[in-house]
């Protein structure tokens, strides 16, 4: 039966409990690494919102939030390879400890671009925290300083991540086995 309302094929890859435990570990690590200092958490909209909100609550430091936005995959699963800044940070980051908070490091094009843009503003330190790392698809030599999970080359949704803007609110990280175009 084919129907545009067919249930999506979602398979849990990383459960909410596993996410919570790992994000808490990352928060502890960041708290240790920056002990006694302040940090600016720069979330990459929109996918990193849930990760940032959980990570921030595991970080026991003086912290502020900022957000940045780049052109995304849109309704496609393949990156266009082009990255554009559509929203810059609101506050100056020069001399600050900045942690870019991103949902997933895939080809590396987005974070390579963002690292360049943010480095130009001369932060004291610039680190990358990516919840997921898909190293097999990397096109740029970039590694996260903090990562939650390394995953194989599967398209995932949930916990902030989307396909055509949907599924961001799923509490678990799921493999989307079938593309739904409606």
> What is the crossing angle of helices 16-33 and 49-57, to 10°?
60
107 binds ligand IMP per the rule CB under 6 A: yes
- Give the N- to C-terminal CA distance of the chain in Å, as an integer: 16
Residue 108's binding partner among ligand IMP, Mg ion, none (Cβ under 5 to 8 angstroms by kind) is ligand IMP
Nearer to ligand IMP, 98 or 132 (CB): 132
Beta carbon of residue 7, minimum distance to Mg ion (angstroms, whole number): 25
Report how far apart, in Å, the C-alpha atoms of 177 and of each of 9, 131, 153 are: 5, 21, 12
Is residue 106 annotated as a catalytic residue, yes or no?
yes
Of these residues, 54, 88, 103, 106, which one is catalytic?
A: 106
Of the residues 27, 52, 102, 160, which one makes contact with ligand IMP according to CB under 6 A: 102
CB nearer Mg ion, residue 34 or residue 67: 67
Can residue 109 be called a binding residue for ligand IMP (CB under 6 A)?
yes
Answer yes or no: are the C-beta atoms of 102 and 129 closer than 8 Å.
yes
The residue within the footprint of ligand IMP, chosen from 43, 52, 72, 127 (CB under 6 A), is 72
DSSP assignments along 59-120, one per residue: --SEEEEEEEEE---TT-SS--S---EEE--SS--TTSEEEEEEEEESSSHHHHHHHHHHHT
8 Å CB contact between 176 and 8? yes
Distance CA 116, CA 137 (A): 20
Q: Which of 54, 106, 133, 172 binds ligand IMP (CB under 6 A)?
A: 106
- 149 part of the interface to ligand IMP, by CB under 6 A: no
Using rule CB under 5 A, residue 108 touches Mg ion = no
| Residues near ligand IMP, by CB under 6 A | 47, 72-73, 79, 102-110, 155-157, 161
Q: Which residues are catalytic?
A: 106
């Amino acid at each position: 039966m084919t129907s545009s309302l067919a249930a999506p094929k979602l398979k849990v890859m990383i459960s909410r409990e596993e996410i919570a435990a790992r994000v808490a570990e990352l928060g502890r690590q960041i708290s240790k690494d920056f002990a006694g200092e302040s940090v600016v958490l720069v979330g990459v909209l929109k996918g990193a919102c849930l990760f940032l909100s959980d990570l921030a609550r595991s970080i026991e430091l003086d912290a502020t939030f900022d957000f940045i936005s780049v052109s995304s995959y849109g309704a496609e699963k393949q990156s266009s390879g082009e990255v554009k800044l559509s929203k810059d940070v609101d506050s100056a980051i020069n001399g600050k400890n900045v942690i870019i908070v991103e949902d997933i490091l895939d080809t590396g094009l987005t974070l390579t671009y963002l690292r360049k843009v943010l480095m130009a503003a001369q932060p004291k330190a610039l680190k990358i925290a990516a919840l997921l790392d898909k190293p097999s698809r990397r096109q740029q030599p970039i590694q996260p300083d903090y990562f939650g999970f390394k995953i194989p080359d599967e398209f995932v949704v949930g916990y902030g991540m989307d396909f055509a803007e949907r599924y961001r609110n799923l509490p678990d990280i799921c493999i989307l086995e079938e593309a739904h175009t409606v």
